[in-house]
Structure 1
Amino acid sequence: MAASTDVRIIDQRTPQERERPFLPGAGKTWLLPFYDAFTRVGGVRALHERAVELAGIEPGQAVADIGCGTGNLSLAVLAAQPGARVTGLDPDGAALRRAARKARRRGVALTLVQGYADRIPAQDASLDHVVSSLALHHVDDDGRSAFARDALRALRPGGRVTIVDFGGLSSNAEDAGNPTHGHGPAHALRHLPRPMRSRVAHSPVAARDHGDGIVALLAEAGFSDAGEVAHADRRFGRVTFVQATRP
């Protein structure tokens, strides 16, 4: 079993960023202890496992999990590929402490960084993979664009980004026909647990993940072959898996 010293939390925020607002994973800070229960009910673990499968992470590769929250995607990476070197990034210090406890219980090595998606903790061209799950939908437009550009910077040539988030290429057509049915935003909001429903409803960019929003985001940043590679329908709506490669 790995020693507890293999799990660490680093605060990379600047003094100015310490007051920077962010939306907690469960919508409200006091709901954090229930967040993992919400995700279990929603079947999010299977989404993480699918994302890891699609990413194709190999032993020894460096992976950054953006918006890692309580660490579930990071831990899914390590469960599938124990030899990976994983760093989780999130602005929520309480969520990172919860992720650290979970990693120590599992005896895995994990670096956790408190910071924001527009400043990935990695040297230029040093990462093999950037992954993210259900996080980008509550980052504003400027932050999303900055994330995509910084992911391109941090990935080595041939490195891959894999993003899981609400939406999908078929969502727009369904929602245009009936905004209260199908697998789009309205359907998703009805079926989310109330705290998570609040999180998505108050996101300024949630709707922009639908259709080809994430694909366009990555393509505009300079990634090649950006596209939806899979989707999954859950009780809270459609989730898309998008991948792209750094040229």
Structure 2
Amino acid sequence: MNDRTTVQIHDHRTPEERDREFLPGMGKPWLLPFYDVFSRLSGARVLHDRAAALADIAPGETVLDVGCGTANLSLAVLRAQPAARVTGLDPDAAALRIAARKAARRRVPLTLAQGFADRLPTGDGSLDHIVSSLALHHVPDEGRILFGREAFRALRPGGRVTIVDFGSSGGAHGSDGHGHRGAARGHSAVAANPHTARNLEGGLVRLLTDAGFADAREVAHLEHRYGPITFVQATRP
């Protein structure tokens, strides 16, 4: 890759998982080349930077970005803490190749793994942080439950999971400036989508609590023009 650092992609899939279907980041594989453009235009970097700040990762800590896609959250974590040890996990090989090129251009120490959220590529108690951005609503119900259990297994005691996704805590929230009508339209769209509707009314908090996490809670919320965004954290006891 000329004078750039090559970023390796490790295949963590089992033979049985190689033909396993998944929902791509933009719903259709052919839309992937437009993903980062859409992400910029929609203001997603604000969400990634906020999640990285809330995670509050220290130098040398190990981080797994679940559903990393083209690595926007992983790169936000490394902007906030360049000395973190970050691995991005995603089932989409094409998205991971884009992530590898972006990390190489920036010369950041990012590791990438191809695999699924319900089987994390790490040992018991080996991670300090798990982060995820706008990914878990793509995971089927059984996979979400298994992700919660896997996150609990993989984090050390005191380790933390930080998730940003469409969703809500179920409480009343004000508008962030997009206007009440725009917020209402966004909420309706999220509620109408079976993938995102599971995250409403504290769905992500329940997911982590049921997996055994302590103090699972919504730590921030905003009304994006595409729907309500929730930031959820929990600690491994």
Question: TM-score scaled to structure 1, two decimals?
Answer: 0.87
Query: What displacement does 1:109 show?
Result: 0.8
Identity %: 63
Q: Secondary structure at the match of 1:10?
A: strand
* Contact 1:157/1:246, CA 8 A, preserved across alignment: yes
Aligned to 1:238: 228
Q: Which residue of 182, 185, 206 corresponds with 2:184?
A: 182
- Secondary structure (helix, strand or coil) at the match of 1:31 reads helix
* Partner residue in 2 for 1:210: 200
DSSP 3-state at the match of 1:19: coil
Count of aligned pairs: 228
How far apart in 2 are the matches of 1:156 and 1:147?
16
Richer in helix (by share): 1
Gaps of 5+ in 2: 175-181
Task: Give 1:187 deviation, angstroms.
Answer: 4.0
Q: Is contact 2:8-2:100 (8 Å) kept?
A: yes
Query: 2:59 is matched by which residue type in structure 1?
Result: P
Deviates more, 1:68-77 or 1:180-189: 180-189
Q: Which letter does structure 1 place at the counterpart of 2:100?
A: A
Secondary structure of 2:24's counterpart equals: coil
CA distance in 1, matches of 2:62, 2:207: 23
Structure 1 stretches of 5 or more lacking a match?
175-179, 190-199
- What is the match of residue 96 of structure 1? 96
CA contact under 8 A between 1:117 and 1:143: conserved in structure 2?
A: yes
User: What is the alpha-carbon root mean square deviation over aligned residues?
Assistant: 2.1
Equivalences for 1:186-201 in 2 at 5 Å? 186-188=188-190, 201=193
Matches within 5 A, 1:74-93: 74-93=74-93
CA 107–181 in structure 1, closer or farther in 2 if over 3 Å, else same: closer
Residues 183, 228 of structure 2: 8 Å contact kept: no
Shift in Å, 1:157: 0.2
Question: Where does structure 1 differ by over 6 angstroms across 4 or more consecutive aligned residues?
Answer: 171-174
What residue is the counterpart of 1:59 in the other structure? 59
Tell me by how many angstroms 1:185 deviates.
4.1
Partner of 2:27: 27
TM-score norm. by structure 2 comes to 0.91
Tell me the distance in 2 between the aligned counterparts of 1:78 and 1:145. Answer: 28
The 5 A counterparts of 1:26-175 are: 26-170=26-170
